[in-house]
Amino acid sequence: MRSGLKWTAALLAALTLSTTALTPMTAQASSYHSGMPKKFWGHWRNKQVRIRVKNNGYDSAVIGATGWVFAYGKPRVKALGHHKYRIHIYSYAQAGHWTTNSFTYISKNRIKYQGMILKRY
């Protein structure tokens, strides 16, 4: 009787291990996640644009504009590749619409935002 239970347990363990080994693991890297990546946090600028990035969103201002353009809410971040991200965020400045922008991390002092190189200040 005991040997029968041992064989049943061994067979069940072998079947479980074989099915888990054959089942592919899928990562959720291509889906949207909440919060801005920490490497983008801080103040960034070039001659035309200034941007302030926090965990819960970012502000941007264009030189010559009347003030800050707020893009705060819960940012949805999608990793596109090596240091490239797509940010989908609720923008209060555009009458409550969702806006999508791209960020690329170049180094700890440079990022690319909507095709423009920005420096940390």
Answer with the residue of higher pLDDT: 111 or 58.
Answer: 111
Please tell me whether the overall predicted TM-score, pTM, comes out greater than 0.85 for this model.
no
Residue 67 burial (CB < 10 Å; 0-12/13-18/19+)? exposed
Instruction: State residue 22's pLDDT score.
Output: 56
The residue that leads in pLDDT, 87 or 6, is 87
The predicted pLDDT at position 58 comes to 84
Structure confidence at residue 2 (pLDDT)? 62
Number of helices (H) and strands (E) in the chain: give both, helices first: 1, 10
pLDDT tens for each residue of 68-115: 676 777 789 999 988 999 999 887 766 678 888 899 999 999 999 888
What is the chain's percent helix, strand, coil content, to nearest 5? 20, 45, 35
Higher pLDDT, 116 or 21: 116
- Separation between Cα atoms, residue 77 and residue 100, nearest integer Å: 10
Contact present, 36 and 87 (Cβ < 8 Å): yes
Answer whether 73's CB lies under 8 Å from 90's CB. yes
